Structure 1
Amino acid sequence: MAAGLPAVAADAAAPAACTATVYLTFDTGSQSQAELVAHTLQRHHIKATFFMANEKTINGDYSLDPSWAAYWKARVAEGHAFGTHTFDHVYVQHDATDGGFSVKPQFGALAGKTLNWTPQQYCAEINRVAQRFTELTGAKIDPLWRAPGGRLTPHLLAAGTSCGYAHAGWSPAGFSGDELPSEKWPNAVLLKRMLRDLKDGDIVMAHLGIWSRRDPWAPAVLEPLISGLERKGYCFATLRDHPSYRHLFKPASSS
């Protein structure tokens, strides 16, 4: 994992009161910004939600390899939430007439191939992340799922629901733009847009590193985004506390 992070000042002070809440979420990616993201969240005492796939990293390994166990264990200990992003980062293409759908994995043995899957096959795919997460950390994943690219079809949504996962996308204003070309979408523009447009209850989506972006998003945007929202009275929480998902985490009432 990344080393040589710059020294930082003392922990950022928490805002005195919250007037609104934003939900930061991070999908796996190249992992080039994984340590920076964790470091920034620690300083601001923020809990976020991580959606995990087994993606190739800048280290030449994969984000759910045993080499990343310490990273994920540390995030569990910090109290973050975790969802599945499909093991091989599988994009849906379109629904089929038989109740299934066409998909294309980005990683794994079948990377780049168009496949026809049943709902049961997709359920097994998203559960692979849950199984690996428990192997790496000893913890259980939350019942949250995010389809790669946010792409959904009616059959796919039904499949995820049938195997016990609630799909978690992101708000229009919460699209960080960290996967867009930095030449056309510089970090200053993305930051200004988010500070202007984010509102109470919005879900923000960014990645732990994007291969294609020349000027990485997180080093330039994450800290000023958090600080700017804090100055406006915003606080941060995981999707366990989001109005659309918190019912999933309520303890069963005793009879």
Structure 2
Amino acid sequence: MRRAASVVVVAALLAGPVQAAGCDKPVYLTLDTGHMGVAPLVAEVLNREQVKVTFFLANEKTLTGGASLDDQWAPWWKARAAEGHLFGSHTFDHVYWVADVKDPADPKGTRFKLRPSAGPDAGRLQTWTAAQYCAELQRPADRFHAMTGQAMPRLFRAPGGKTSPALLAAAKACGWTHVPWSAAGFLGDELPSDRYPNAQLLQRALDHIRPGDVMLAHLGIWSRQDPWAPAVLEPLIQGLKQRGFCFATLRDHPAYRDAALR
């Protein structure tokens, strides 16, 4: 299960005036890849509700035995791109940061202990240079361009939200801006459904989401028995709209719009 270890620290990053065009109560729904089992239903809800979101792409194992960026899913991503959603990198092999280590080749430099959860090295602890991490961020962008013909904005989300100042600085140096999520925006689809049923997660989100919040959910979580999406997704969207909120992609967020345009 992915855990949001750094979720509480993002409030300060998201502070300040946050406004999408024509709306004074914007919220920013973001969806990371997963096993993709609910992806078609999620797309139906977004189309029905006329909501645009930001997707973060990794090449994760799917319920059908393939991967979320393989040829089976290429038409799905192409359709989402045509609809006007926004996209960012989630690292190709869903690579978790574990720790910083000193670079033996440069006493002032830093390398990173990382553990992919997908791909040929899944589960293996590795040590990468900053250049290797930057190359990993670029891999979903290259695949996205091959699938859709569109360029991916230079936005990324580290798996699990796990980062360090050195990792963020390395990504920034090669042009990538990290996107965490708001404390109230952690929608809970990673949590066990027996302890956190959908009705509870829905009510918690409706009670606590505030203007400017970046929200996080996924296109399928292996460990959740009662899928969060689309059961919670549509009533959440409708409930927030009834409360005067509107939905925007990160291209309208003042902290990320410059990176989204690159």
RMSD of equivalent CA atoms: 1.2
Q: Confirm whether residue 39 of structure 1 aligns to residue 44 of structure 2.
A: yes
Out of 29, 32, 37, the residue aligned to residue 27 of structure 1 is 32
**SS of corresponding position for 2:230:** helix
How far apart, CA to CA, are the structure 2 residues paired with 1:19 and 1:94?
40
Out of 199, 211, 223, the residue aligned to residue 200 of structure 1 is 211
Out of 249, 254, 258, the residue aligned to residue 243 of structure 1 is 254
Range with bigger deviation, 69-78 or 242-251: 242-251
How far apart, CA to CA, are the structure 1 residues paired with 2:173 and 2:76?
31
Query: What is the CA distance between 1:250 and its match in structure 2?
Result: 5.6
How far apart, CA to CA, are the structure 1 residues paired with 2:195 and 2:46?
28
How far apart, CA to CA, are the structure 1 residues paired with 2:174 and 2:51?
30
Paired position in structure 2 for 1:162: 173
One-letter amino acid of the structure 1 residue matched with residue 74 of structure 2? A
Assess if the C-alpha contact under 8 Å between 1:145 and 1:168 holds in 2. Answer: yes
Assess if the C-alpha contact under 8 Å between 1:95 and 1:154 holds in 2. Answer: no
Query: What is the CA distance between 1:249 and its match in structure 2?
Result: 4.5
CA offsets, 1:196-239, max 9 Å, x none? 00000000000001011000001221011000000011100000
Structure 2 alignment gaps of length 5 or more: 1-21, 104-109
Query: What is the CA distance between 1:19 and its match in structure 2?
Result: 4.0
Q: Which structure is higher in RCO with an 8 Å CA cutoff and minimum separation 6?
A: 2
One-letter amino acid of the structure 1 residue matched with residue 131 of structure 2? Q
- Give the fraction of aligned pairs with identical amino acids, expressed as a percent: 57
Query: What is the CA distance between 1:27 and its match in structure 2?
Result: 0.2
**SS of corresponding position for 1:24:** strand
Paired position in structure 2 for 1:14: none
Q: Confirm whether residue 94 of structure 1 aligns to residue 94 of structure 2.
A: no
Which structure 1 residue ranges, 4+ long, deviate > 6 Å from structure 2? none
Q: Confirm whether residue 85 of structure 1 aligns to residue 96 of structure 2.
A: no
Out of 116, 130, 148, the residue aligned to residue 127 of structure 2 is 116
Out of 67, 71, 76, the residue aligned to residue 66 of structure 1 is 71
Out of 220, 226, 235, the residue aligned to residue 224 of structure 1 is 235
Paired position in structure 1 for 2:191: 180
Paired position in structure 2 for 1:150: 161
Paired position in structure 2 for 1:3: none
Structure 1 alignment gaps of length 5 or more: 1-16
How far apart, CA to CA, are the structure 2 residues paired with 1:163 and 1:140?
16
